[in-house]
Each structure stands twice: as structure tokens, then as C-alpha cells.
Amino acid sequence: MSSAQTDQARTLQSIRSRADHLRHTIQTLETLMAWHPLTQWPEYLSKFQVVSKQLENIMGSKDDEDSLLPESMHHWVCAPRMSLPDPTHIPILLRTREDPEMEKRDEELLQTDTASLLPHRKRKAEWTWDELEVQKETFNATVEGFEDSLKKSADELLKRIKVGKFKEVVRPNSTQGAAFRYMESGQWT
């Protein structure tokens, strides 16, 4: 092997290892986004910066003499040279609070919900026997309603399953010819 071929092989191996590392980082980011959707922005931002730096390392500078990729392949990957083009976007990206209008609307909803649920949110020592009796009766009525609906749906399901299950099929007296016809057609004639 000539030295040019060994240099190309080393360069190709270096690109492959960096691409594998980049692929692994992107898979980690996708897994994080899929399984932990409530992750805060700073963690996502740091992962994206790692991806950007890895792409930049693979690409190298177009002006560099020791760039890994030849200039003819620089159009395959588009990586911005700046990690963030507009520094005013950082507060928006790192914001963990909602907009003030959304916070106000959520607060109003919470207040109306707590006002409607206030009798149920009493401390146990403050409940009267009448309130406890009413809660018990409504709970029992709800449970009985669930039981009745489940029983009805189970009965309907059993009826659907049993339809046609216990039909009596009359088999004719077997003859040699009838047995062969049954084997050929699958039906008794």
C-alpha cells in the first residue's frame, strides 16, 4: 500500500469514528426527547451544541489544509459556523416559565377549580356526619353504576360469543363416498 492510500484509509476511519460518535449523540438526544419530554432547555441546548461541534469537527474549516473532508464533499453537511446567530434568542430558548397571559389563565382556572372542590378538600376532622354520609352514598351510587355498566357489557359480549357456538350439526350416515367428498370439499353433503 502506498502512503497516499494509507492516509486515505486513516482519514476515512477517522471520519467514520466521528460520524459514529455523532450518530450516538443524536440517538441519545432523540431518546431524551422521547422518554423525558419535561427536560429543561439548558440540557437540550448543551446537547445541541455538542452535535454542532461534532459536525464542525467532521467538516473542518474549508480553508484548513488539514481538513478531513475534501472540498468536493463540503456541500453534504450544512453546519452553521456560529452556534447561535442571534444572541437575543438565548433568553427565549432558556425560558422555563410560561408567558404571563398563560400563567394568569392557569391561576384563574386553579382558583375556580379550588372553589368548586372546596367542600371535598376539607380536613377530615372538619367533616360532619351528614357530609360523610352524602359522600358515601354518592361513592356507592357511582360504583354501582360502574358495576351495572360492566355487567351489561359483559353480558352482551357473552351473547355475541355464544351465538352460533352451540348449533347442532347433523352428520349423515357415513359412507365411503361421503367421506371422500367431505375430505375434498370440507362440507357434509
**Which pLDDT score is estimated for 57?**
75
How confident is the model over 109-138, as a mean pLDDT?
75
**Which is more confident, 183 or 122?**
183
CA nearest to 94, candidates 44, 151, 162, 152: 44
Q: Is the pLDDT confidence value at 179 over 60?
A: yes
Cα 29 from Cα 90, distance rounded (Å):
20
**Among candidate residues 89, 103, 107, 104, the one with its CA nearest the CA of residue 41:** 89
Q: How confident is the model at residue 6 (pLDDT cuts 50, 70, 90)?
A: confident
Q: Is the pTM of this model over 0.75?
A: no
pLDDT tens, residue by residue, 24-52: 888 888 888 888 878 787 888 888 888 88
Domain residue ranges of the chain, discontinuous segments joined by +: 3-94
Percent of the chain with pLDDT over 90: 8
Predicted pLDDT at 148 = 92
C-alpha pair distances (Å), 177 with each of 91, 124, 170, 174, 180 = 88, 82, 17, 8, 5
Handedness of CA 49, 55, 58, 63 (dihedral sign): negative
Q: How many CB atoms lie within 10 A of CB 58?
A: 19
Instruction: Please check whether residue 59 is in contact with residue 74, taking contact to mean a CB–CB distance below 8 angstroms.
Output: yes
Predicted confidence (pLDDT) at residue 171 exceeds the cutoff of 70: no
Banded pLDDT at 144 (limits 50, 70, 90): very high
pLDDT of 123 higher than 70: no
More confident position, 145 or 188: 145
